[in-house]
């Protein structure tokens, strides 16, 4: 390879890169769009601006022994529905939700969020929808969008498609980190907060059942649903941060553990916060599942175990609380988060030698 500088070139530097599939002018435009979206999110203790080599923030005051929490997640094959429908405004909220709800499960306050968007060719209208969805998720969570990366990789993705990844940093006082495993006792109560639907999990199976096996039209409204199928499936993941943080401040000792019901459903997530010798007993009759779940179970001929292991089945977040404190916490939630239909969905049971999730 000759590395000497040629005396002349048929292209300008911008034109040469554009011929290779990368548009530098579009890249500059999306940075401007990202800056505008970021300014609408929390700017507390943020230093610097989007467009630099890194983002910076200062820890909030008042923490004695702050522990930084980190999370990284994506949206998964739910993105396929965004591509096929041309609707990209809600998956950005999903991206934030999947990360901040994980931070919340440790008792953390999300501080900053960064995104990674990769695509074969930048579509500025598509990007604008994505970044504004991410900003909306950050506003709901009370954290700041401090930067990210947009990668244009020609030939790597099919036309019109992209991938998303999100990264979040949060903080929690060391003495108030969850789960408090040693505090869980026989008879402690599980309070469930309703999900908006599938959130961002189980879409590979859902898409197969609905569109490959049964060839349903995304624009139709199957019996039992109140909205077209595509609306149900693109409904964004619920962000529980603000209301639950208020619960933790009001009942710091009565809440003992929390669960974000995400990939793996109940069986994949609840055991992550159970100490050895304790099990969670759930009563599914205690909550109403959104209609999308019975529809999937019926059309897919899925047994209950598959449902519990794959989907959230209507419960997106769980608080494990001290017995005899559940009513006070429910009353608090009814006044501050009634849209999530908080309800007692089960209890903790001592099971020497076992740690499992049981459905009664």
Strand partners, 114: 147, 167
- The answer on pLDDT for 299 being more than 70 is yes
Whether 190 and 302 map to the same domain: the answer is: yes
> Is 141 part of any domain?
yes
Give the total number of structural domains in the chain. Answer: 2
Whether 43 and 192 map to the same domain: the answer is: no
Whether 106 and 190 map to the same domain: the answer is: no
Quote the DSSP letter at residue 246: H
Quote the DSSP letter at residue 338: G
Q: Which of 176, 193, 222 is the last residue of a domain?
A: 176
> Is 3 part of any domain?
no
Helices 91-105 and 78-85: crossing angle, nearest 10°? 160
Whether 120 and 250 map to the same domain: the answer is: no
> Is 38 part of any domain?
yes
Whether 23 and 120 map to the same domain: the answer is: yes
Q: What is the pLDDT of residue 54?
A: 77
pLDDT above 70: percentage of residues in the chain: 89
Question: What does the alpha-carbon distance between residue 294 and residue 296 come to, in Å, rounded to a whole number?
Answer: 5
Over residues 41-75, the pLDDT tens digits come to 876 666 556 666 777 788 888 899 999 999 999 99
Q: Which of 123, 158, 176 is the last residue of a domain?
A: 176
> Is 8 part of any domain?
no
Record the pTM.
Answer: 0.90
Contacts of 325 (CB under 8 A, 6+ apart): 189, 251, 254
Query: CATH number for the domain including 166?
Result: 3.30.1330.10
> Is 4 part of any domain?
no
Over residues 123-175, the pLDDT tens digits come to 999 999 999 999 999 999 999 998 889 999 999 999 999 999 999 999 999 99
Q: b/e for 240-272, b at 16 or more Cβ within 10 A?
A: bbebbbebbeebeebbbbbbbbbbbbbebbbbe
Whether 162 and 206 map to the same domain: the answer is: no
For the chain, the first-to-last Cα distance in angstroms comes to: 70
> Is 6 part of any domain?
no
Mean of pLDDT values over 79-95: 97
Whether 234 and 284 map to the same domain: the answer is: yes
Over residues 178-213, the pLDDT tens digits come to 999 888 999 999 999 999 999 999 999 999 999 999
Give residue 293's domain range: 181-359
């Amino acid at each position: 390879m000759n590395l000497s500088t040629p005396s002349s070139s048929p292209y300008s530097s911008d034109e040469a890169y554009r011929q290779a599939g990368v548009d530098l002018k579009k890249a500059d435009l999306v940075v401007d769009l990202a800056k505008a979206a970021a300014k609408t999110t929390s700017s507390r203790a943020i230093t610097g601006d989007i467009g630099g080599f890194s983002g910076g923030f200062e820890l909030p005051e008042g923490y004695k022994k702050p522990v930084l929490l980190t999370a990284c997640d994506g949206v998964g094959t739910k993105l396929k529905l965004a591509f096929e429908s041309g609707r990209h405004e809600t998956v950005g909220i999903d991206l934030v939700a999947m990360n901040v709800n994980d931070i919340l499960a440790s008792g953390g306050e999300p501080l900053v969020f960064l995104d990674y968007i990769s695509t074969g060719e930048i579509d500025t209208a598509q990007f604008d929808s994505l970044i504004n969805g991410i900003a909306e998720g950050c506003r709901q969570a009370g954290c700041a969008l401090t930067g990210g990366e947009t990668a244009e990789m020609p030939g790597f993705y099919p036309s019109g498609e992209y991938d998303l990844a999100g990264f979040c940093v949060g903080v929690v006082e060391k003495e108030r980190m969850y789960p408090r495993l040693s505090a869980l006792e026989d008879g402690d109560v599980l309070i469930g907060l309703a999900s908006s639907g599938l959130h961002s999990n189980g879409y590979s199976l859902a898409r197969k059942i609905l569109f490959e096996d049964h060839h349903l039209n995304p624009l139709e409204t199957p019996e039992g649903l109140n909205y077209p199928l595509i609306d149900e499936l693109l409904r964004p993941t619920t962000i529980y941060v603000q209301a639950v943080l208020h619960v933790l401040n009001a009942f710091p000792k009565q809440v003992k553990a929390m669960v974000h019901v995400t990939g793996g459903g109940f069986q994949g997530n609840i055991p992550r916060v159970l100490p050895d010798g304790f099990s969670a007993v759930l009563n599914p009759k205690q909550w109403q599942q959104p209609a999308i779940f019975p529809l999937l179970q019926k059309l897919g001929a899925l047994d209950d175990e598959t449902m519990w292991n794959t989907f959230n089945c209507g419960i997106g977040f769980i608080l494990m609380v001290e017995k005899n404190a559940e009513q006070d916490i429910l009353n608090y939630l009814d006044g501050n988060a009634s849209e999530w239909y908080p309800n007692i969905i089960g209890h903790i049971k001592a099971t020497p030698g076992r740690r499992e999730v049981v459905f009664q």
